Structure 1
């Protein structure tokens, strides 16, 4: 089991922030592109090795991200058009999501209903801060990538309101 604390610092330009574990050790570093279309995020591990690349599709009505992991697997996050509550669809993820994705308070379960990870947004912070607990270490890269993409959409939409 691993626990990470994510404090995102999205700006209009290039983004760069660290993701630390519960002991304060940097486990991941996220770099966002600067004035690049499509917008991309690259996530590196503590050794500087690329973990994943997240790219936002440009010509879509609703936000859509392609995530390519270092093991060659990839999946897509698509925001669905709904009237009451924001919903997302995940293609080729292999996991089920329970909870409130928009508020970053949800759980990831595998096909056997085993808990893989929990994501909880912390309140009373000036920046977007959340705790990610990954129970199955092999899913850590995927879960961190998923959280970065969803939180970026949240930041964009909060700026437009």
Structure 2
């Protein structure tokens, strides 16, 4: 089990931020593109090796991202149209979300209903700050990538309202 603290700093002109473990040590570096279409995020580990690349699909009605992991796996995360709360679906992944995505308080479950990770937004911070607890270390890169994509969509929607 590993825990991470994510403090995203989205601003006009590209995004760069670190993701730290529960001991305060940097585990991942995230770099967002600047004026690039499609919008992309690249995640690197501490050694500078690319972990994943997240690309926002351009011509879609609702947000959709392609996530390409360094091991060659790729999948899509897309937002569904609902009236009461935000919902996301994954294509080619075998995971599902349970909980409140809008408030970034949710769990990721596998097809056996085992909890893979929990994401909890921390209140009373100026920037988007949340804790990610991954119960199986092999899912860490995947879960961090999902969180970056979901939080980016939520940030865009909060700015537009």
TM-score class normalised by the smaller sequence: over 0.9
Residue pair 1:102, 1:150 contacting (<8 A) in 2 also: no
Deviation at 1:147, TM superposition (A): 0.2
* Residue 31 (structure 1) aligns with: 31
Indicate the SS of the match to 1:61.
Answer: coil
Indicate the SS of the match to 1:13.
Answer: coil
* Residue 152 (structure 1) aligns with: 152
Deviation digits for residues 55-100 of structure 1 (CA, Å, limit 9, x no counterpart): 0011111111000001111111111112222211111121122111
* Residue 43 (structure 1) aligns with: 43
* Residue 142 (structure 1) aligns with: 142
TM-score, with length taken from structure 2: 0.97
Does residue 66 of structure 2 align to residue 66 of structure 1? yes
Query: Matched residues in 2 for 1:133 and 1:86: separation?
Result: 21
Residue pair 1:37, 1:58 contacting (<8 A) in 2 also: yes
Residue pair 1:5, 1:132 contacting (<8 A) in 2 also: yes
Residue pair 1:54, 1:145 contacting (<8 A) in 2 also: yes
Does residue 90 of structure 2 align to residue 86 of structure 1? no
Structure 1 stretches (4+) deviating beyond 2 angstroms? none
What value does the CA root-mean-square deviation take over the aligned residues?
A: 0.8
Structure 1: which 5+ runs fail to align? none
TM-score, with length taken from structure 1: 0.97
Query: Matched residues in 1 for 2:80 and 2:111: separation?
Result: 22
Does residue 104 of structure 2 align to residue 110 of structure 1? no
Residue pair 2:96, 2:109 contacting (<8 A) in 1 also: yes
Structure 2: which 5+ runs fail to align? none
Indicate the SS of the match to 1:148.
Answer: helix
How many pairs were matched up?
A: 161
Does residue 97 of structure 2 align to residue 97 of structure 1? yes
